[in-house]
Structure 1
Amino acid sequence: MTPGLWIAAALAAVLVGPPLFAWLMCRPRQAARQGLAGRMLRLADGRTHVTKDGLKGRRVAVLVHGLTTPAWVFDAIAAGLVVQGWQVVRHDLWGRGGSDTPGGAQNRALFTRQLAGVIEAEAGGKPVLLVGYSMGAAIAAAFAEANPAQVRGLAMLAPAGLGHRMDGFTRFCTATPVLGDWLWATFSGIGLRAAARKAARQGPSSVENITARLALESRTRGYRRAVLSSLRHMLAEDMRPTLKALEARGLPMLAVWGGEDGLIAGAASKKLARIAPGAEQVTVEAAGHGLPHTHPREVLKALSGFTPRL
């Protein structure tokens, strides 16, 4: 080989090797499905993992999780809503838990199509209560805006779309095509696992072994790509116009915030009060961003006060 070819080969190895090695060290998505309760639902964009709890014929609540934690983050909330008289449907967003990772941007259109398919299959065409956590709140709000007749109420837990914080590495990767993709594919697992450990320190979790479970997610093929794409698209949306439109339609809304949330901007609740003054707001002072699994009792109390009016 000529020196030029040697240099080209070395450069290719440097560029391709690290992200390829990181990918090879991850488990296939099929392995993530082993032992999961529920069923796989075939939708236009791929297979979605869905679970349903509660008695048939009850009002239906559909829970939409956030950026990094699959639907199991709602285990305690789902159990509590069943006790309150709801049938509860949960699904894993694309690239999380047991769901496929389709190609293309993880944006409003992709996520609302998925949610529409889940509601059509599991709710029998009846209006549902949507409960969204973080990015899931933005997805739920987007669905409610597009499908007002299918939503009886919207509860948002630490909702995204009104300002959020990112560390420097995540901000750079999100804003920088190509190089950002390479860095994210190679190194993001380290940061995601560190974030999982930090989240576990926010307080006792209702999810057993949550740090280990999130670490395993970060080692599942498609997960990191899904997270980066969501950061660039769904989480980049300003949800103020959507929430303003829902307020104008009179949709009952509840927002539950963590008083010590380090990810959602502190001014988010004030923004919501300005654009949707009719929305009920509750702050769990001791909670961080993980309030659905660290403070499920407080969340369920807020929901029990909100849902009788639906």
Structure 2
Amino acid sequence: MTPWGWLLAAAVALVILPPLLAWLMCRSRAAAREGLPGRMLRLPDGLTRVTVDGLPGRPVAVLVHGLTTPSWVFDAIAAGLVVLGWRVVRHDLWGRGGSDMPGKAQNRALFVRQLAGVIEAEAGDARVLLVGYSMGAAISAAYAEAYPSHVRGLAMLAPAGLGHRMEGFTRFCAATPVLGDWLWATFSGPGLRAAARKAARQGPSSVENIATRLAQESRTRGYRRAVLSSIRHMLAEDMRPTLKGLDAAGLPMLAVWGGEDGLILKAAGKRLAKVAPGAEQITVEAAGHGVPHTHPREVLKALTGFLARL
């Protein structure tokens, strides 16, 4: 082989090997499902892990998690809602927890289609309460816009879609096709694990070993691609038009914010009040972005008051 041939081979190896090694070091999605509760629901885009708590015949609450934390982030909230008399349905978004990672853009259409399939399977024609956390709030609002007759109320915890912060590496990868994908596939793991450790320091969590569990997610095939695709698509949406339409249609809405949230812009509450003046807003002053798992009692208190007005 000529020197130029060796140089080309070395360049190709440098491009291919780092993300390939990162992928090989990750566990499979099948391994990620081992030991998880619930059942696998087959939907057009793949298998979705679904868990249901509470008695049949009770009103149904559907909990939709956010960008990085699977549905176990709602364990305490789900238990509290069951005590309040609700049947609680949760699912893992694509590429998280036990759900498949379809090779499609993680946009509004994909997530609404998944949520619609879960609700149809577990609630039928019943009108449901939607409780969405962070990106899950945006997904829930998008579903409510598409299926207004199926939703009785929308509760949003630290909702995305009204302005959020993003650190430089993530912003560059999201904005830069090809090179951004390579950098993300190769180097995002340590950053995601550092973010998990930071989240664990926000306060006592109702999720045991949350940093370890999130670290396992970052070492699962498809998870990091799912996060990057969601940032590029679902999280890039401005949800103000959707929320404005829901408010105009009279849908009861609640937003619960963390007073110390470092990810959601402080202006988000004002933006929500401007487009959806009918939405109730509550701030848990001591909470960060992890409000569902660090302050579940406060969230349940807010939900209890909201539910009494539905």
| TM-score, length-scaled by structure 1 | 1.00
Deviation (angstroms), 1:104: 1.3
Q: Identify the residue that residue 170 of structure 1 maps to in structure 2.
A: 170
Deviation (angstroms), 1:283: 0.1
Q: Identify the residue that residue 236 of structure 1 maps to in structure 2.
A: 236
Distance in 1 separating the partners of 2:127 and 2:197: 38
Distance in 1 separating the partners of 2:297 and 2:123: 26
Distance in 1 separating the partners of 2:12 and 2:292: 44
Distance in 2 separating the partners of 1:66 and 1:243: 18
Indicate the percent of aligned positions where both proteins have the same amino acid.
82
Q: Identify the residue that residue 93 of structure 2 maps to in structure 1.
A: 93
Q: Deviations over 1:184-212 (max 9, x none)?
A: 00000000000000000000000000000
Q: Identify the residue that residue 297 of structure 1 maps to in structure 2.
A: 297
- Structure 1: stretches of 5+ with no match in the other structure: none
Distance in 1 separating the partners of 2:38 and 2:201: 30
What is the DSSP-based 3-state SS (H/G/I as helix, E as strand, rest coil) of the residue aligned with 1:207? coil
Letter in 2 for 1:129: L
Q: Tell whether 2:11 aligns with 1:15.
A: no
Q: Identify the residue that residue 65 of structure 2 maps to in structure 1.
A: 65
Deviation (angstroms), 1:130: 0.2
Q: Identify the residue that residue 47 of structure 1 maps to in structure 2.
A: 47
Matches within 5 A, 1:246-265: 246-265=246-265
Matches within 5 A, 1:1-310: 1-310=1-310
Deviation (angstroms), 1:124: 1.9
Distance in 1 separating the partners of 2:125 and 2:29: 30
Distance in 2 separating the partners of 1:25 and 1:36: 21
Distance in 2 separating the partners of 1:231 and 1:30: 25
Deviation (angstroms), 1:153: 0.2
Distance in 2 separating the partners of 1:151 and 1:212: 35
Distance in 2 separating the partners of 1:71 and 1:169: 26
What is the DSSP-based 3-state SS (H/G/I as helix, E as strand, rest coil) of the residue aligned with 1:94? coil
Deviation (angstroms), 1:32: 0.6
Distance in 2 separating the partners of 1:5 and 1:157: 55
Letter in 1 for 2:170: T
Q: Deviations over 1:134-174 (max 9, x none)?
A: 00000000000010000000000000000000111111111
Distance in 1 separating the partners of 2:113 and 2:241: 20
What is the DSSP-based 3-state SS (H/G/I as helix, E as strand, rest coil) of the residue aligned with 2:55? coil
Distance in 2 separating the partners of 1:274 and 1:135: 20
Distance in 1 separating the partners of 2:196 and 2:297: 22
Distance in 2 separating the partners of 1:87 and 1:104: 31
Deviation (angstroms), 1:40: 0.1
Deviation (angstroms), 1:274: 0.5
Deviation (angstroms), 1:295: 0.1
Deviation (angstroms), 1:125: 1.4
- Structure 2: stretches of 5+ with no match in the other structure: none
Deviation (angstroms), 1:246: 0.2
Letter in 1 for 2:273: A
Distance in 2 separating the partners of 1:192 and 1:156: 24
Moved over 3 A (4+): none
Q: Deviations over 1:48-94 (max 9, x none)?
A: 00000001000000000000000000000000000011000000000
Letter in 2 for 1:230: S
What is the DSSP-based 3-state SS (H/G/I as helix, E as strand, rest coil) of the residue aligned with 2:208? coil
Provide the alpha-carbon RMSD of the alignment: 0.4
Distance in 1 separating the partners of 2:246 and 2:162: 15
Distance in 2 separating the partners of 1:92 and 1:165: 24
What is the DSSP-based 3-state SS (H/G/I as helix, E as strand, rest coil) of the residue aligned with 1:272? helix
Deviation (angstroms), 1:122: 0.3
Distance in 2 separating the partners of 1:7 and 1:109: 44
Deviation (angstroms), 1:229: 0.1
| TM-score, length-scaled by structure 2 | 1.00
Distance in 2 separating the partners of 1:41 and 1:125: 18
